[in-house]
Amino acid sequence: MKEIIVAPSILSANFLDLKNDLDITEKSLAKWLHFDVMDGHFVPNISFGSAILRQVKGYSKLFMDVHIMISDPLKYAKEFIDAGADILTFHYEALKSDEEILQVIKLIKSNNCKVGISIKPDTKVEKIFKYLNMLDLVLIMSVEPGFGGQSFMDNSLNKIKELRLEIDSNKYNCLIQVDGGINDITSYKCRNAGADVLVAGSYLYGKIDFSSRVKKLMGI
Ligand code: DX5
Ligand code: ZN
C-alpha cells in the first residue's frame, strides 16, 4: 500500500507565528512543505519570495516543495534553488514553446534540484506527456491558481486517472501531486484516482487537530 505524501501549503499559515506553524507541521506525519510563490502577474495575487524560503529552509527540516506561479520561471528558478528548494515546480502555461519548457527543466536539473510541471484546470494533461520521462513530479491544479480556500474541481479526477495510466504504462518515475481544495472528502477521491502527493492549506493551518487531519488526508 503506497504511502500518500502530504504537503501543507504555508500560504494558509499564520505568518505572525510561522515558527509555531512549522513546528506543528514537523510534529505531524507531513514530510513536505508546499511553498506557494505568486508574482501578481501569472496569477492575480502576490505571496512571498526567496528570502522567506531561505529563512524557512534554515529553520525547518521539511522537504521544500516550491510551487512557482510566476510568468518568468527561467529568470527566477536558480534564485529559489539557491534559497533551498528541494523540488521546483513551474507552470506549463507560463512558457511559450517546447524549447522554453525544456530550457527550464534543464536549468533546474543542472542545479541538482528535482523538477515538476504544474498544469491549470483548463490545460489538458496530454500536453505534458512528452516531458514525463524528465520530470520528478506533475502538479494537477484542482483550483484556479492564486488563492487558498477555494473549492475542489471534480474534473481534475479524470486528469489524475489519465496521468496515472500514462506514468504506470511507461514505468516513469514521476509523482502525481494535486493542489487546491484538498480535504478529508476530496483527498479520498484523489487517492483513489492515483495521486501520490496531496497539498492542503486551509484544511490544515489554523486548525487545532492538524496532525489528525494530516492522517485523514493520508487515509490512515
Ligand atoms: C493555490 C495554491 C495552493 C493553495 C492550496 O494557487 O497553489 O497550494 O495554497 O490551498 P487550499 O488547500 O486551501 O486550497
Ligand atoms: Zn500550490
Asked if the model's pLDDT at residue 1 lies above 80, the reply is no
Separation of CA 12 and ligand 2 centre (Å): 11
36, 65, 136, 196: the active-site residue: 36
Q: Bridge partners of 65?
A: 34, 87
| Sequential DSSP letters for 124-141 | -GGGGGGGGGG-SEEEEE
Among all bound ligands, the one having the nearest atom to the CA of 181 is 1
Compute the distance between CA of residue 65 and CA of residue 7 in angstroms, rounded to an integer.
8
Give, using CA atoms, the residue closest to atom 9 of ligand 1. 148
Of the chain, the percentage scoring pLDDT greater than 70 comes to 100
pLDDT tens for 157-205 read: 999 999 999 999 999 999 999 999 999 999 999 999 999 999 999 999 9
Of the chain, the percentage scoring pLDDT greater than 90 comes to 99
Asked if the model's pLDDT at residue 76 lies above 80, the reply is yes
Q: Region 7-19: what's the mean pLDDT?
A: 98
| Mean of pLDDT over the chain | 98
The confidence score (pLDDT) of residue 91 equals: 99
Q: Bridge partners of 116?
A: 89, 137
The confidence score (pLDDT) of residue 43 equals: 98
Which atom of ligand 1 is nearest to 144's Cα? 6
Separation of CA 118 and ligand 2 centre (Å): 9
pLDDT tens for 121-154 read: 999 999 999 999 999 999 999 999 999 999 999 9
Task: Please state the length of the chain.
Answer: 220
Mutation probe of ligand 1 site: the residue of 14, 91, 141, 143 with most atoms within 8 A of C-beta: 143
Among positive and negative, which fits the CA dihedral 195, 198, 202, 207?
Answer: positive
Q: Region 98-115: what's the mean pLDDT?
A: 98
205 half-sphere exposure, CB direction, 13 A CA radius: 25
Residue bearing cell 494558509: 12
pTM: 0.98
77 half-sphere exposure, CB direction, 13 A CA radius: 26
The confidence score (pLDDT) of residue 2 equals: 84
The confidence score (pLDDT) of residue 122 equals: 98
39, 65, 136, 179: the active-site residue: 179
